Structure 1
Amino acid sequence: MGKESLGEFEELVLLMIALLKEDAYGLGICDEIKKQTGRTTAIGAVHATLSRLETKGLVESSLGDPTKERGGRRKRLFTLTAFGEKALIQSRDTKVSIWTQIPELSIKTV
């Protein structure tokens, strides 16, 4: 990943892909963002972000099987690459490191 860091929305989309596992596709990611954060997201923003993440090598996509519910169309499913997992871990570690340097704001675990 070099010196390039994840944008906030890119990180959120990567987290949803990790959470959804084999069911990570555009609309499912939108729905999960809403469920997890209460944030309404445009499907176009998710698709643009998925395309950018794939170009960066952070995710891979494949076509799922056709389904009756989709009129025989196939979903484009996304998975994290090893590079994508590493980017998420690096992002988390950076944030945790900064949080721990601000004791009055640090979240205490039980």
Structure 2
Amino acid sequence: MAKSRFLGEFEQFVLLAILRLGEQAYGTTIRQILLDVIQRDVSIGALYTTLTRLEDKGLIRSAMGEATAERGGRAKKYFEITAEGKRALQETRQSLDAMWRDVKLSFVGVKQ
């Protein structure tokens, strides 16, 4: 895995949210799953900055849905992970697992 392909923590969370949501992955649902699952409340602007960066890297792709009256005639932008995104996510996980192998955390003398 090239150095630039290591994913940051938030990038991993966003990619995993997209995978979990499947065809329902758009800004609001991604934001909601991040709040529900990891208790991380992110602004929609911060989320879209990350989504744009992931798309620029070729790790996700987006498509506009149909405009709906409930959204004032605006369309939702849906996201899906690419094969390259899945590969980067898997390689990042393997790298983290390798680093954690044989690591023992000791809490002796450490206030919890």
TM-score (norm 1): 0.87
1:69 Cα deviation (Å)? Answer: 2.1
Report percent identity of matched pairs.
45
1:23 Cα deviation (Å)? Answer: 0.8
Aligned residues: 104
- Matching residue of 2:3: 3
Q: Which residues of 2 match residues 63-102 of structure 1 at below 5 A?
A: 63-102=64-103
Q: CA RMSD in A?
A: 1.3
1:101 Cα deviation (Å)? Answer: 2.2
Unaligned runs of 5+ in 1: 106-110
TM-score (norm 2): 0.86
Unaligned runs of 5+ in 2: 106-112
Query: How far apart, CA to CA, are the structure 2 residues paired with 1:98 and 1:69?
Result: 48
Q: Which has the higher strand share?
A: 2
* Higher-Rg member (1/2): 2
- Matching residue of 2:23: 22
1:13 Cα deviation (Å)? Answer: 0.7
